[in-house]
Amino acid sequence: MNVTGNQALLKDYQVYLRVEKGLRPLTCEAYLCDLRTFSEFLESRHGVLLSAAQQDVSAFLEHLRTHNIDSRTAARKLSCLRGFYKWLLLDRRIHHDPTVNIDSPKSWKVLPKSLAEPEVNEMLERAALAASHPQARATAFRDRAILELLYAGGLRVSEIVGLSTSDLSLDAGRVQVLGKGDKERIIPIGAVAIEAIEKYLAEGRPHLARIQTRRTNKPADSARLFLSLRGMPLTRQWVWHLVKAANNNASPHMLRHSCATHMVEHGADLRSVQMMLGHADISTTQVYTHLALGRLKAVHRLHHPRATRRIPEPAAPDTTTQPSSDSLEETA
């Protein structure tokens, strides 16, 4: 198989990921990007994807290490290769998986970065103030609703730009989200986020939709919740810039981490946080364990009967030498 054959193989795998695995286009592209990197490495060694051997995979990982690729990224690329060669094996295109017995690069658990509660409150209060101005624009209502929803529900940026008006159940205080792998989940939201969304639906979104109609004589997207100034669906990059403008140290994913962090700090259990964030595996949510342990220690100190009371030291034995009866008799 030549280079053209590699490209055809990757195209087949892309169809498999999209159709059979149900992965999003961006996720599929991320996998293909890692596979193209490995394919280019093989070409430099005069190899191809179908004939890759175990030593090729080991050499690829060593190549990444020598080029200062961190262990987390290398581990992700190896995981991608494992999935690809498992598919080839099941499809009977190869007879041996070259990733077998290859150890994943060890990496440190990186704690997710989050904002302190005062930082988030300040950012959201500024957005609320802008939306409450007598001459507030439609975009101010929209921007506040997006920021409140990102923090209230811990949504991914791709999830929030994909929301439709039909996904809202504001009377019930919840939003239906389509997450990774096209998995749906229900997210509860609080009164402040509900109020911001209702204000946007009443005074923001209709104005943005009318702008699109006047400019193009075509109705705006009637389904998508958040619209641009042109009445079009927002992009992930646009939401990223919105959050950055609200707080230069923040990002949409940092607001997601902040939501989870603050919930755990206030007593939420990890299983509930897992369901809310849409993590397929509880191990992903366990990065917040350090917060839960901190609260557990505080609860232990507060409620355990022997957590704070110091146990008195046992009395020291009397080491004073007492004269024996024999010595007394001798003295007498």
- For 166-217, how does the pLDDT look when each residue is reduced to its tens digit (9 = 90+)? 999 999 999 999 988 788 999 999 999 999 999 999 999 999 888 766 666 6
**Token pair listed for 172:** 């019930």
Q: Which of 34, 55, 90 represents a domain boundary (last residue)?
A: 90
- What CA–CA distance (Å, rounded) separates 50 from 10? 11
The CATH number given to whatever domain includes residue 266 is 1.10.443.10
SS3 1: coil
The boundaries of the domain holding residue 81 are 3-90
> Looking at the 3D structure of the chain, how many domains does it have?
2
Residues 53 and 197 in one domain: no
pLDDT at 327: 45
What's phi and psi for 68, nearest 5 deg?
60, 30
Whole-structure pTM value = 0.68
Question: For residue 219, is pLDDT > 90?
Answer: no
Residues 80 and 139 in one domain: no
Residues 189 and 253 in one domain: yes
Q: What Rg, from alpha-carbon coordinates, does the chain have?
A: 30
Question: For residue 330, is pLDDT > 60?
Answer: no
Residues 84 and 126 in one domain: no
Q: Does some domain include residue 214?
A: yes
Q: Does some domain include residue 97?
A: no
Question: For residue 310, is pLDDT > 80?
Answer: no
Q: Does some domain include residue 268?
A: yes
Helices marked H in the chain:
3-15, 25-44, 54-66, 71-90, 117-131, 138-153, 157-161, 191-199, 205-216, 236-246, 252-265, 270-277, 282-285, 289-303, 325-331
What is the DSSP track for 53-117? -HHHHHHHHHHHHHTT--HHHHHHHHHHHHHHHHHHHHTTS-SS-TTTTPPPPP-PPPPPP---H
Residues 165 and 218 in one domain: yes
- What CA–CA distance (Å, rounded) separates 2 from 46? 10
Q: Using one digit for the tens of pLDDT, what is the confidence trace for 25-45?
A: 888 999 999 999 999 999 998
Q: Which residues are catalytic?
A: 156, 180, 253, 256, 279, 288
Q: Does some domain include residue 79?
A: yes
Q: Does some domain include residue 299?
A: no
Sheet containing 168-169: order of strands? 168-169, 174-178, 184-188
pLDDT at 76: 92
